[in-house]
Amino acid sequence: MPEAAVGTAADTGPAAPPPRPARRRTLLLGGGALVVAAAVVAAVLATGGSDGRHAARPSDGLRHTSVEITSAACGRGWTHPAAGKQVFDLHNDSGVAAEVYLTDPASGAVYGEVEGLAPGTARPLRVTLGNGSYAFKCVSDDADAVTGPTVRVTGGTAKGGPAAVPVTQQDLIPPTLAYQKWIGARTVELAEKTDTLRAAIDRGDLAAARKDWLTAHLVYERMGAAYGTFGDADSAINGTTAGLTGGVHDKDFAGFHRVEYGLWHGESASGLRGPAARLAKAVHELRDGWPDQRMDPADVGLRAHEILENTVQFELTGRTDYGSGTNLATARANLDGTAELLGRLRPLLKTRDVGLSGIDTWMTRAGRTLDEFDHDGHWTPLDRLTRAQREKVDADLGELVERLADVAALTDVRRTA
């Protein structure tokens, strides 16, 4: 039977996904024991005087202590320490922005933080303190870090929240180099699988090409932590129709999804040879140029969270499906990529209270959930899931994303001097 022509101009494909989320620090430590201060500047704070005594309790019912944040008086005002859940109202009375950490002065471990405390503003830091020694560290722009006086909390019965020693750039270099080497091997594998896909299209075997497309595409999807280093190659290899006025028929629509659209919308082999050749060319250029690339160690921990965050946003919504119905296969590949990156970071994570055992449990659970939809290489499309199945996938991946946010926060490089 002759192969049908590609879809009409009315076909626009799936809705274009929004840009990937920007880098940001979400929280410091999980478990609800400590949280980063709210990003919104507090308009009115119930605080005491400069001696640290507090006025009538505010509406939250918690103990509030006013603390000064300047290079000359970092932490001044905390003179009546107590254990338990409480709020420090941090006031930046200097002329420059500052980051503020509540630390263990002996180890440097951080219990809580406030980012970007602007001059003349105040923000709350909610904490739960147990018995122990604490000190505020004030890190102002263009100035050395200053650690305030040590304050000792005694006689309390509350269990304090966890703390984590900040990760340095040097700490992240070994896992980054190891992961970069792993990516190098994957670029070789990707080139081989993409060549197989192109060969199937060249000989007109589109049934084989559909199988080879998925095999090659999943190799690429396992490499998610390196996308930022790929630069323009990412769009050439795995771009969508986002920003293209012509949608799936735009001349600049290229890469795996362009080939996917043609393979699952009746495009002829002759029509697909050009897109397949361009895809192969982009993949080979990535492979050949990878040895000269350098990943930013500061991004590695963030990617451990962002890979699956993007999976929930793009794959589980079907926004990157151009006909193959393989979003769940992509989600599984993304999970594999996350596991690979976590393995590289594990030596750092296991010495910090990040709930690693819980993350491992949810990684395993999410993998089992997704594997239920793999039927000898034929994956259940999203629109064929029952409501119960869909809710389980969303819940398992969503919970895992929340837990991985701690990894991103704890591996975010913080200035300590």
CATH number at residue 63: 2.60.40
Q: Say if residue 326 is in the same domain as residue 204.
A: yes
Q: What average pLDDT does this structure show over 85-113?
A: 93
Q: Say if residue 219 is in the same domain as residue 285.
A: yes
Domain boundary among 144, 163, 182: 163
Domain boundary among 163, 184, 214: 163
Q: What average pLDDT does this structure show over 320-346?
A: 97
Longest dimension (CA), the chain: 87
Q: Please, which pLDDT band fits residue 30 given cuts at 50, 70 and 90? A: very low
- Which residues are 117's β-sheet partners? 98
Q: Say if residue 175 is in the same domain as residue 118.
A: no
277 vs 224: which has the higher pLDDT: 277
Q: Say if residue 288 is in the same domain as residue 243.
A: yes
pLDDT computed for residue 316 by the predictor:
98
Q: Please, which pLDDT band fits residue 14 given cuts at 50, 70 and 90? A: low
Tell whether the model's pLDDT for residue 230 goes beyond 70.
yes
pLDDT computed for residue 27 by the predictor:
40
Instruction: Kindly report which listed range (47-51, 227-231, 246-250, 390-394) carries the lowest average pLDDT score.
Output: 47-51
HEC profile of the chain: CCCCCCCCCCCCCCCCCCCCCCCCCCCCCCCCCCCCCCCCCCCCCCCCCCCCCCCCCCCCCCEEEEEEECCCCCCECCCCCCCEEEEEEEEECCCCCEEEEEECCCCCCEEEEEEEECCCCEEEEEEEECCEEEEEEEEECCCCCEECCCEEECCCCCCCCCCECCCCHHHHHHHHHHHHHHHHHHHHHHHHHHHHHHHHHHCCCHHHHHHHHHHHHHHHHCCHHHHHHHCHHHHHHHCCCCCCCCHHHCCCCCCHHHHHHHHCCCCCHHHHHHHHHHHHHHHHHHHHHHHHCCCCHHHHHHHHHHHHHHHHHHHCCCCCCCCCCCHHHHHHHHHHHHHHHHHHHHHHHCCCCCCHHHHHHHHHHHHHHHHCCEECCEECCHHHCCHHHHHHHHHHHHHHHHHHHHHHHHCCCCCCC
Q: Say if residue 187 is in the same domain as residue 105.
A: no
Query: What domain range is 228 assigned to?
Result: 169-410
Residue 13's contacts (CB-CB under 8 Å, 6 or more residues apart) are 241, 247, 248, 261, 322
The verdict on pTM exceeding 0.85 is no
Q: Within a domain: residue 212?
A: yes
Q: Within a domain: residue 12?
A: no
Q: Please, which pLDDT band fits residue 159 given cuts at 50, 70 and 90? A: confident
pLDDT over 70 percentage in the chain:
86
pLDDT over 90 percentage in the chain:
73
Which CATH number characterizes residue 294's domain?
Answer: 1.20.1420.20
- Domains held by the chain: number: 2
Q: Say if residue 79 is in the same domain as residue 177.
A: no
Q: Say if residue 89 is in the same domain as residue 212.
A: no
Alpha-carbon separation of residue 140 from 27, 60, 117, 278 (angstroms): 20, 30, 9, 49
Tell whether the model's pLDDT for residue 379 goes beyond 60.
yes
Q: Within a domain: residue 15?
A: no
Q: Say if residue 267 is in the same domain as residue 148.
A: no
- Is residue 261 within 8 A of residue 190, CB to CB? The reply is no
